[in-house]
Amino acid sequence: MKTLNLIVNFLLFITLPVAGFASHGDASAKGDALSKCTNINQIPSIDCASAPSSVFSTKGRLWTAWSYAGHVYVNYSDDKGKTFSKPVTLNLIPEKISARGENRPKIVLNNNGSIYVSWTTPLKKRFTGNVRFSYSNDLGRSFSTPVTVNDNLDITGHRFEALSVAKNGNIYLAWLDKRDRFKAKKEGKDYHGAALYYTWSDDGGKSFHANKKIIDHSCECCRVIIDIDNNDLPVILWRNIYGKNTRDHALVSFDSASKPRKPVRVSYDNWQVDACPHHGPDLSISKTGDYHMAWFNNADKSHGLFYMRMGKNNKRTTPFNFGNYKATASHPGVLSNNNQVWLTWKEYDGKEETVWSQYSANNGETFDKAKTVAKTTKGSDYPFLITDNKNIYIQWKTTQEGFRLIEIDKYSSQVMQ
Amino acid sequence: MKILVLLASLLFCYTVNASNKPSLFKTDSYKQLIEEKKQPFLMVMWSLDCPPCIKELNSLGMLYKQYPDLNMVLVSTDSPERIDEINNLLNRFDLQNIDNWVFSTDSIQKLRYTIDPQWYGELPRSYFHDKQPTERSAVTGILDTQHIVSWLKKNTEVTPDRLTKY
């Protein structure tokens, strides 16, 4: 029997996509969530996805977008992520999909029930990609054939897209774009970083306006975030390059869908590094109109996670340093509702990955003591704060436990039992 | 049955030693490197998803050509299924014959922690392991070739002839 097991194990090993190594490792631990995903003929589960996104509808239905084996899927859960509907495939023709850490399929819902999904498809050359979009107007039963949103089709970077929908139905997409860098290189010129471009649709995603540039020289590999402000217009936050290599954060708001204002610098940590931080910011605009921001920087004098609020006339609060820097506090999320603010982030102590949360009842002036939300030992995605407008949840996908939605107390950020 | 096992084992050995390909970097690999690697050595962490890393590999490839004795370890933090892309890139910069590693499927956070609890995943990230085994310094971002040369001067008994190569 042992011999048979040995042969079976050996045969299993040679079928795994790890050929070409000088030694080999465990493909995935038995019993963890990913082990459900070995049968390619089975309908995939969200547990198979490394980087899912989720959002609540106004009726409390949790919608998720995720990818697996070349397809983007959307499904929903009516029991807060315990069970899910059969997933619907958005791209019938398989394509590469960026789904890891900073980049993942995104999903937003229009008030009329329409569902909008975006993702990045990498192209053949390294650091290249196109921004893809698909919509459903029949409550997720079917989706439109995906379209490429970037109107420049050079084999260059159009990646790290952010997606949002305003109350008036306008759909906004912003992303890191290397068309200008591509052009500069062709002309033998230098171009540092990428650029931030955006577009919008005012017909429910059937068409998009011509792409517009917001700024040159953004950081290249950090996620971009959009939220909608009290004027029903987008606000975009991203990591920018200032001067030669100072990687701080910038924000742009709009006068109208077609008129971005001048971007403003919002962080002054002065992290000077010619490297990829792979660590984008987060943004949440409260009903009071304040911009609540969270980010990571690793400058000598100003490092770790930071929370800051920006109000009228771009008045900024002193950044609040949170999380345990010595336990690699990373990948912060922020959510606001009137004067309430929640933060989440990830830490690692050498054994366990832990998600934390912290709560402010006074518009981010002060925060209560940080609390542990959940732990895992075999690898995890970033944590995300989401709300169904009644309660607060943290989405956390872990290798071992799969997709989880953890409810936290809305007056303390303590985990609800 | 025994013959079958033997055949399977032989095939296995052939598969894993067929060429000089990156080793899988596991949770005990860094400890092993420190214990077994002849000091001083330079360890550079890089990824396919990091544009500055490509510039870094390019300059390291050129440096390595000039100084093939440079004791260097390259670790790709990408997942093992991207091995073909990794090998292509290493070949492109003539870095395929140095001590190459790629992160295993262990938790990326855990792997990073085994190297440096204070490393947040920024890339490229380099560790200069000095002549003294207990001493090392970390650098985030593209390395200045001159910095590597000065470090070499400080840590190796290089002859003037060798130095002129820079």
Q: What's the pLDDT tens digit per position in A245-271?
A: 999 999 999 999 999 999 999 999 999
State whether A19 and B1 contact (CB < 8 Å): no
Q: What is the pTM of this model?
A: 0.87
Q: Which residue has the higher pLDDT, A173 or B131?
A: A173
Q: Residue B163: which H helix or E strand, with range?
A: helix B160-164
| Residue B1, domain member (yes or no) | no
pLDDT for A226 equals 98
Q: Which residue has the higher pLDDT, B35 or A306?
A: A306
In terms of domains, do A244 and A335 share one? no
| Residue A155, domain member (yes or no) | yes
In terms of domains, do A261 and A115 share one? yes
Q: Per-residue pLDDT for A411 more than 70? A: yes
Query: What is residue A210's three-state secondary structure?
Result: coil
Residue B34 distance to chain A (closest CA, Å)? 18
Percentage with pLDDT > 90 across chain A? 86
Q: What is the pLDDT of residues A14-58, one digit of tens each?
A: 333 333 344 322 333 334 565 667 777 788 999 999 899 999 999
The rounded distance, in Å, linking the Cα atoms of A126 and A221 is 13
Q: Which residue has the higher pLDDT, A394 or B153?
A: A394
| Residue B70, domain member (yes or no) | yes
Q: Per-residue pLDDT for A234 more than 90? A: yes
State whether A275 and B50 contact (CB < 8 Å): yes
Q: Per-residue pLDDT for A197 more than 50? A: yes
Q: What is the pLDDT of residues A54-97, one digit of tens each?
A: 999 999 999 999 999 999 999 999 999 999 999 999 999 999 99
pLDDT for A24 equals 28
Last residue of a domain, one of A263, A280, A297: A280
Using the Cβ of A17 and the Cβ atoms of chain B, whether some distance falls under 8 Å is answered with yes
Counting the structural domains of chain A, the total is 2
**A124 alpha carbon, distance to own chain's centre:** 23
Q: What is the pLDDT of residues B98-120, one digit of tens each?
A: 999 999 988 888 999 999 998 99
In terms of domains, do A272 and A339 share one? no
Q: What is the pLDDT of residues B46-60, one digit of tens each?
A: 999 899 999 999 999
pLDDT for A248 equals 97
Q: Per-residue pLDDT for A1 more than 60? A: no
In terms of domains, do A154 and A100 share one? yes
Query: What is residue B10's three-state secondary structure?
Result: helix
| Residue B4, domain member (yes or no) | no
pLDDT for A14 equals 33
| Residue A25, domain member (yes or no) | no
Domain span at B46: 21-164
| Residue A105, domain member (yes or no) | yes
In terms of domains, do A119 and A207 share one? yes
In terms of domains, do A288 and A229 share one? no
pLDDT for B129 equals 92
| Residue A38, domain member (yes or no) | no
Residue A283 pLDDT grade (very low, low, confident, very high; cuts 50, 70, 90): very high
Q: Residue A219: left (phi > 0), alpha (psi -120 to 50), or beta?
A: beta
Q: Which of A194, A168, A172, A162 is nearest to A181 (CA)?
A: A194
- Crossing angle (nearest 10°) for helices A2-15 and B2-17: 30
| Residue A254, domain member (yes or no) | yes
Domain span at A255: 51-280
In terms of domains, do A138 and A249 share one? yes
| Residue A16, domain member (yes or no) | no
The residue of chain A with its CA nearest to that of B120 is A328
Q: What is the pLDDT of residues B69-96, one digit of tens each?
A: 889 999 999 999 999 999 999 999 999 9
The rounded distance, in Å, linking the Cα atoms of A118 and A101 is 16
The rounded distance, in Å, linking the Cα atoms of B147 and A98 is 35
pLDDT for B22 equals 94
Residue A268 distance to chain B (closest CA, Å)? 19
The average pLDDT across B127-156 equals 87
Last residue of a domain, one of A227, A246, A280: A280
The amino acid that residue A237 corresponds to is L
In terms of domains, do A288 and A248 share one? no
Q: Per-residue pLDDT for B21 more than 80? A: yes
State whether B15 and A353 contact (CB < 8 Å): no
Residue A197 distance to chain B (closest CA, Å)? 19
In terms of domains, do A123 and A197 share one? yes
pLDDT for A33 equals 60
CATH number at residue B43: 3.40.30.10
Q: Per-residue pLDDT for B16 more than 90? A: no
In terms of domains, do A351 and A253 share one? no
pLDDT for A229 equals 97
pLDDT for B30 equals 96
Percentage with pLDDT > 70 across chain B? 81
Q: Pick B23's closest partner by Cβ from A21, A278, A298.
A: A21
Q: Pick A275's closest partner by Cβ from B107, B110, B123.
A: B123
Counting the structural domains of chain B, the total is 1
State whether A276 and B109 contact (CB < 8 Å): no
In terms of domains, do A244 and A318 share one? no
The rounded distance, in Å, linking the Cα atoms of A160 and A63 is 21
pLDDT for A35 equals 62
Q: Is the ipTM of this complex over 0.90?
A: no
| Residue B53, domain member (yes or no) | yes
Name, in order, each residue with C-beta under 8 angstroms of A192's C-beta and a sequence gap of 6 or more.
Answer: A217, A241, A244
Last residue of a domain, one of A280, A303, A333: A280
| Residue B47, domain member (yes or no) | yes
List of chain A residues whose C-beta atoms are within 8 Å of the C-beta of residue B17: 22
Using the Cβ of A382 and the Cβ atoms of chain B, whether some distance falls under 8 Å is answered with no
Using the Cβ of A358 and the Cβ atoms of chain B, whether some distance falls under 8 Å is answered with no
Residue B163 pLDDT grade (very low, low, confident, very high; cuts 50, 70, 90): very low
| Residue A149, domain member (yes or no) | yes
In terms of domains, do A347 and A366 share one? yes
Residue B132 distance to chain A (closest CA, Å)? 25
Mean pLDDT of the residues in chain B: 83
CATH number at residue A129: 2.120.10.10
List of chain A residues whose C-beta atoms are within 8 Å of the C-beta of residue B21: 20-22
Q: Which residue has the higher pLDDT, B149 or A154?
A: A154
